[in-house]
Amino acid sequence: MDEQQPDVNKLGGAGDTPSASSKRSWLKPALGYLFAAVCLVWVFHDVDVRDVWRHVRNVNPWWVAVAILCDVLGYVCQGVRWSLLLRPVGRVSTAKSTQAIYAGLFTNEALPLKAGELVRAYLIARWLRVKLSAIVPSMLVERLLDGIWLVFGLALAMIFLPLPRNLLEAGDALGIVLVIATGMFFYVIARRSKTTIATAAVNEHRPRESKTWKPLRSMSAMVGRVAGGVQAIGLSRDTYLAFAASFVLLLLQALSFWLVMYAYGLRRSFFVGAVVFLIVHLGTALPNAPANIGSYQFFTVVGLTLFGVDKTYAAGFSVVVFILLTLPLWLLGFVALSRSGTTLLTVREEISRLYAGGDERV
């Protein structure tokens, strides 16, 4: 679930000099791959591969099937939530929103730096025939709702389990960020005014005579549209339903993770499995290598060893859970993207064209 909004340069955005653009195009992915390599070296440097294989052979396929079902239902739940948050922009069926989510997930598996977030936004914007920036507010609110439940889960874990200091500090930092984000959310909503919104709508169609530097003017207009989108979402009934859907989403994903633990032979309580899942979820939130490879294994092993699981056992599980929960994403994501009537190359070119055309088209 997946986590931040990538900028256009991560898909090869336009508007930069060739040298600066080419430098960013290889530097950022290279850092992600380097981090992944370091994580994998740490995970496997003192692990006996024969022991790992012995554990893998004993995986129970029936529990795996249930885990995959829960994982798929979790993304359907995310589709329900996104449909609710998109209603101020337009009506999108759960099937369509889930399709866009899976297309984005497939992109994340193939490309670094969470590029799939931009892909799913592009697909919905194309289907609704609206600007790309009109979709961004719903995605920001998604992240806010996820953050609230994530902090709540970590707070419960801090009460009942002896967590390491580094994790406690990370939880505190996330809590501070969440408080600031929530405050900004309510501030934007409090400033909601029909007159202001109507005036903004009228001014949007007037010719711009401002002599402000064009990039700054474009950024200001973008922020204004995003703020207006957040205002439109507000604290409606749909927002409360989306908040409830966020809880169900994280619950299903945690259950899926724990069921793979059970299938693997790690018979720990669901609460322990949920805490390890939260650690992995938090650790892989930042953009990195495709499919979070490396970081996923690293944080899985770190989380399990906190509860006394042998590192070799944990390393084997980190590979098993990664493969079992990623393969369905590849398959369903490929189908979702292929049925969308576009390709990754087409999306990349179209987004670059939009941003090259200026603010009016974004």
* Cβ-based neighbour number of residue 176 at 10 Å: 11
Residue 350, pLDDT > 90, answer no
Least Cα distance to 257 among 307, 311, 324, 330 occurs for 324
111-125, 206-220, 237-251, 346-360: least confidently modelled range: 206-220
Residue 1: the pLDDT is 46
Residue 13: the pLDDT is 45
Residue 197: the pLDDT is 45
Residue 133: the pLDDT is 84
- Structural domain includes residue 92: yes
Q: How far apart are CA 358 and CA 362, in angstroms?
A: 7
Q: Which two tokens stand for residue 242?
A: 């989306």
Q: Which contacts (CB < 8 Å, 24+ apart) does range 152-157 have?
A: 153/250, 153/274, 153/275, 153/278, 154/278, 154/282, 157/271, 157/275, 157/278
Work out the mean pLDDT of the chain and round it to a whole number.
79
- Structural domain includes residue 19: yes
Least Cα distance to 61 among 312, 264, 206 occurs for 264
- Structural domain includes residue 2: no
pLDDT category, 101, cuts 50, 70, 90?
A: very high
Q: How far apart are CA 92 and CA 138, in angstroms?
A: 12
32-36, 249-253, 257-261: least confidently modelled range: 32-36
When pLDDT is averaged across residues 345-354 and rounded to a whole number, the result is 70
| Residue count of the chain | 362
Residue 264: the pLDDT is 93
Q: What residues make up the domain containing 333?
A: 8-361
- Structural domain includes residue 77: yes
pLDDT category, 58, cuts 50, 70, 90?
A: confident
131-145, 174-188, 317-331: least confidently modelled range: 174-188
Residue 195: the pLDDT is 39
When pLDDT is averaged across residues 59-66 and rounded to a whole number, the result is 94
Cβ atoms of residues 189 and 228 within 8 Å: no
The vertex-293 CA angle with 291 and 296, nearest 5°, equals 100
- Structural domain includes residue 40: yes
Residue 201: the pLDDT is 44
Residue 73: the pLDDT is 97
- Structural domain includes residue 3: no
Residue 362: the pLDDT is 62
Q: How far apart are CA 259 and CA 265, in angstroms?
A: 10
Higher pLDDT, 10 or 151: 151
- Structural domain includes residue 1: no
Q: What is the pLDDT of residues 141-152, one digit of tens each?
A: 999 899 889 888
Residue 196, pLDDT > 70, answer no
Contacts of residue 15, defined as CB under 8 A and 6 or more positions apart, other chains included, come to 355, 356
Q: What is the pLDDT of residues 180-193, one digit of tens each?
A: 877 777 777 776 64
When pLDDT is averaged across residues 296-302 and rounded to a whole number, the result is 92
Q: How many domains does the chain have?
A: 1
Cβ atoms of residues 70 and 252 within 8 Å: yes
Residue 306: the pLDDT is 87
Residue 276, pLDDT > 80, answer yes
- Structural domain includes residue 170: yes
